[in-house]
Structure 1
């Protein structure tokens, strides 16, 4: 037996393997389902013991095969964009050395312990239909029941070379150059990303890198550049490898620095990196990651990224991250799970100070959205909601902000929101924040599956100090009153203006204990109220507001006053009429009833017409009162819809002046088609 082994060893070492190249080329071509050829020399030698085996398997002889000038063509019929019909090359290598196990060959398994490639030139491609040139599909007759050959590699080592990747689906085109670092050149990684957390296996020792790479290319219209270092030998068998990787890259405005380990490279799992990421806008991450994020100012973040990149089962955990967006700070944990038909982003984020201009609207308004031409001075916001990406990802995020700064407005305190995006339907429930020493709580549902977008909103206001809304008024240390209220509206539209212009529902507001004067309302920039108060009570007179109630029925953008009363120390004032939110036009009648009839002017009703941006206030001719009264009667008699939010005003019913008015404000508001149809009255 020993003699036979010696004869076999001598024969193997002396055999001219170039004579076997035709058979080897044909066999491997059939196994790969494409043309394969060893165009240079081919040789083989015995080796033992097996370095990667244990027990008796370690002493089973193996064979090391070495070839030069190897070529692997693209699969038949694989047509690269812009390429000629002639076969294209998937891979070339100046030299390849493979250590094969003999025992598995009996079971039609090609097991390579170590594959070493020198000077490879690899060109991978994926077409728009999803087909690629790296999946090996063996040729075989449909009636052939012979078991397929299996192919596996345990370790891969690359000595220099080039790699190209073209992905038509992602509009991605990359090329990379790989260089081997000699022992004297091996360096410890540098970069902005810190080492992995000390709890990982990789943190127990300094990572050593054996190859360096440079890459460049394009993603869409954005240029990509990068460089990095990696381990010299890549194990594809062991589940716990801790393959070191460090790189920096830039794609368009986005820059990243990554350092850490890939525990199981064969399955693209066990990722544990410290990641620094920055860019001009978080929205720019969509092309790179598929994450739907708002348009923002420049951002930078750093945290620990763990998870898996397995196709169809990718899971990313971005833990304990901290960063800035514009002048806002962000902290928290995020998870992204890849799934069909949509991936899902979940997590919790906190902020000590958040500027709304930094994160953009929660709903994601378009960056270039402005008032449309031809709006004729309308003032309601007309920026379009950017909902085109809502169908590409689901989301379940919780956000808590201690202080939220708004442009030209009071800051919000203790903002909390739970945002759920499911199948292109966004729910903000609850959305709670403090402002002007009061509280506002809302529920919003936006359905982008319908065109135009449908919006349902329920909002409750509690104990809002109106003077605190206007710094100029607060400086006078006088109160405009405290506001409680509720509003429920359903509507359609791709902007706030369109939504309000089509909405139906109800709104009810209650104000108590305030001071009214033309000067105070001018300071608050409440133009309509300023003019009305000036005409009713005089330009220089202050009146004490006991309470006020406004009850509005809204149908298809037309808000009809069912009840609107103000009780002051001078008079009780009734307001009737409509507000057309689609056209932003006012058609109101203001009728005062003096408590003591001190002023003749109080017997004269006023009209409020014009637009929200340019109101017109004047004396009301008597006959018009009948028409306004009829409209109000029709609205009050209209059937009610679903009850939602009652107005609560603790303690206010103690006031004898306000109790009758408050009784009208305790009925719950209703969303939907509230109120009878009311014709839109042309303004005069």
Structure 2
């Protein structure tokens, strides 16, 4: 039997009763429908405003998203934002500090629920960052320093940069660095993509170029493992190669790495680093560069300057009114010519020498023996210094053995204390004081000569090389001028040297006296030694002119006494030597000897007027009877052994 049909009004009432009995079902249905509509119509760009305001609140800088904002939801959610710009400090001329065409960021959702921020990757397209130093030496990045909230750090695993650019500006320091950065495919052992770096700009007004590679910038946040890099830079003729690794690289006050420097002239470091170095030949050094606060250390470096090896350690303190340069340097073999720049002298040039181009030009034009290149007063007042240089062996035309020099420069006052030179198996101990606080420079020299070996002074001379005797003396000079030539050319003081008993070649003495017969005899027979009683030279110096107070060389064979002057300003010689033989000899042309000319081209000749008179007498007598011509050259001699010059020396 079939049921009776339900009226429509009854069905509607039953449906209403069901809904009324379950109100949460209707709410859920409405919510689902609303969510569906929201998902279909949602535009992530609606969140641009809240995101911009959040970044501005955190950084204190304007922030805009000029393009689209998009999000791909998932366990790892990807966020993309286009045309980003971050505002600059108020004092900057450019309103934009950073920008990027696109930022793509991946973030893990589940760790967020535990308060952890894990970002597997950030990709940046054409990021541009402008770092600059403005008024009061303030950096435009200072607003972000120490802005952390003390919570869990962000874990960023991978950074990829497409065509990035970093610009660093320091107008006061005349520095502008423009660097391009691009990520490369990771190599073996790279957890994140490394970056290739290239750039150029000006550093302290000097143009430079830069290129190299480094680990991913993300690796800088790892304070436990070293950050590896390899960079080459060039500024003019100066080249630098920085490579190695940094630990906790964001600690800019403390870091260290290997640094090689090479160039044509250490003087070129002055505009780059503010270090007032003297002119030098080409150099190349390699050592460990480390910064500790305001101190820069270049430790355990080794290399060459010109033809000399050089090693040691250097420290530069930058925290004071002037930079302070401290160095402890050692050279196993020092080519003295490489120190020419310290003295303001032109170095030698040739196949065996390695001067810089500037020094080659200077050497080609220089005709003086005493250095006349002016010292630069601004450099002498630009920094303080404490430099110790020890040379174990010296290569030079002079008989130099070794050197120990200690230079102290303080507020324009330079002292070499001591300046010790090993010379001819003896030594010269001296102190030099140069006051550059006012122009011209005031210089004083105090030197003592001790135990110089007479034979070692002439190692290349067949006549004097085996001479025996020890020489001592002193020099006390004071002068004014901005070059060594000017200082000596205006100097006052005294200079004296002397020696006691010794031996010298008889041939040398006879040639000095132009004793033809004995000299020829020694030339064709065995030479013999003549005992030296003594020798001395005592000069008074006034306004750059050395005047002989006493000048004598006394042997058992011949006494040589002298007089005259040496002009340090004009570099001219005017000395008269009078040989007084103590033996009888035929063919003796008893005439004074004149030492003249210049320091670079001295002349050594007999007094031709007196020789001419004796020659005329010999010719006249020879015309009567040839043997009689010998009478004009017969020298009987005083026949006594003078007391170290006796009357002649006094």
Common fold: TM-score over 0.5: yes
Aligned to 1:634: none
Distance in 1, matches of 2:166 and 2:345, equals 40
Distance in 2, matches of 1:416 and 1:306, equals 27
Matched-pair contact (CA < 8 Å) for 2:554–2:645:
no
Structure 1 residues 581-622: Cα deviation after superposition (integer angstroms, max 9, x where no partner): 223344555566676899999997777666544558676999
1:90 aligns with one of 93, 97, 113: 97
Q: How does 1:268-279 map to 2 (within 5 A)?
A: 268-279=252-263
Structure 1 residues 528-560: Cα deviation after superposition (integer angstroms, max 9, x where no partner): xx5xx4499997699754212222222221223
How much has 1:405 moved relative to structure 2? 0.9
Aligned to 2:177: 174
Distance in 2, matches of 1:456 and 1:113, equals 71
Q: How does 1:179-198 map to 2 (within 5 A)?
A: 179-182=182-185, 185-187=186-188
Corresponding position: 1:345 with 2:333: no
Matched-pair contact (CA < 8 Å) for 1:322–1:329:
yes
Corresponding position: 1:164 with 2:167: yes
Aligned to 2:83: 69
Aligned to 1:437: 425
Structure 1 residues 233-273: Cα deviation after superposition (integer angstroms, max 9, x where no partner): 1556x865643333334443344443333223333144232
Structure 1 residues 317-356: Cα deviation after superposition (integer angstroms, max 9, x where no partner): 3333232334432232332332222222323222222223
Matched-pair contact (CA < 8 Å) for 1:262–1:270:
no
Matched-pair contact (CA < 8 Å) for 2:166–2:179:
yes
Corresponding position: 1:253 with 2:237: yes
Aligned to 1:121: 128
Structure 1 residues 274-323: Cα deviation after superposition (integer angstroms, max 9, x where no partner): 33333334334444433343444443333333334xxxx33333333232
Superposed CA RMSD? 4.9
Q: How does 1:464-503 map to 2 (within 5 A)?
A: 464-474=452-462, 477-479=465-467, 481-503=469-491
Corresponding position: 1:40 with 2:67: yes
1:409 aligns with one of 398, 408, 414: 398
Distance in 2, matches of 1:582 and 1:316, equals 43
Q: Provide the secondary structure at the position in 1 that maps to 2:267.
A: helix
Q: Provide the secondary structure at the position in 1 that maps to 2:460.
A: helix
Structure 1 residues 436-467: Cα deviation after superposition (integer angstroms, max 9, x where no partner): 22222222223333322332222222221233
How much has 1:658 moved relative to structure 2? 4.8
How much has 1:224 moved relative to structure 2? 0.8
Matched-pair contact (CA < 8 Å) for 2:458–2:464:
no
Distance in 2, matches of 1:26 and 1:520, equals 100
Q: How does 1:524-603 map to 2 (within 5 A)?
A: 533-534=513-514, 545-570=532-557, 572-588=559-575, 590=577
Matched-pair contact (CA < 8 Å) for 1:489–1:505:
yes
Distance in 1, matches of 2:136 and 2:401, equals 49
Matched-pair contact (CA < 8 Å) for 1:231–1:244:
no
Q: How does 1:108-147 map to 2 (within 5 A)?
A: 118-119=124-125, 120-126=127-133, 134-136=140-142
Q: How does 1:330-369 map to 2 (within 5 A)?
A: 330-358=310-338, 360-363=340-343, 367-368=358-359
CA 1:371–1:255: 2 relative to 1, 3 Å: closer
Distance in 2, matches of 1:481 and 1:187, equals 71
Distance in 2, matches of 1:460 and 1:47, equals 88
Q: How does 1:157-306 map to 2 (within 5 A)?
A: 158-160=159-161, 161-182=164-185, 185-187=186-188, 210-219=193-202, 220=205, 222-234=207-219, 242-306=226-290
How much has 1:502 moved relative to structure 2? 1.0
Matched-pair contact (CA < 8 Å) for 2:403–2:420:
yes
Matched-pair contact (CA < 8 Å) for 1:226–1:250:
no
How much has 1:503 moved relative to structure 2? 1.2
Aligned to 2:351: none
How much has 1:217 moved relative to structure 2? 0.8
Distance in 2, matches of 1:440 and 1:253, equals 37
Structure 1 residues 70-89: Cα deviation after superposition (integer angstroms, max 9, x where no partner): 2134444534xxxxxxx453
Stretches of structure 2 lacking an aligned partner (at least 5 in a row):
1-34, 108-115, 347-357, 523-529, 611-640
TM-score computed with the length of structure 2 as normaliser: 0.68
How much has 1:418 moved relative to structure 2? 1.9
Aligned to 2:445: 457
Distance in 1, matches of 2:146 and 2:394, equals 63
Aligned to 1:82: none
Greater helix percent: which structure?
2
How much has 1:121 moved relative to structure 2? 0.9
Aligned to 2:627: none
Stretches of structure 1 lacking an aligned partner (at least 5 in a row):
1-9, 49-62, 80-86, 100-110, 139-147, 189-206, 523-529, 623-654, 665-684
CA 1:47–1:279: 2 relative to 1, 3 Å: farther
Corresponding position: 1:328 with 2:298: no
CA 1:602–1:451: 2 relative to 1, 3 Å: farther
1:447 aligns with one of 430, 435, 455: 435
How much has 1:371 moved relative to structure 2? 7.8
Matched-pair contact (CA < 8 Å) for 2:122–2:160:
yes
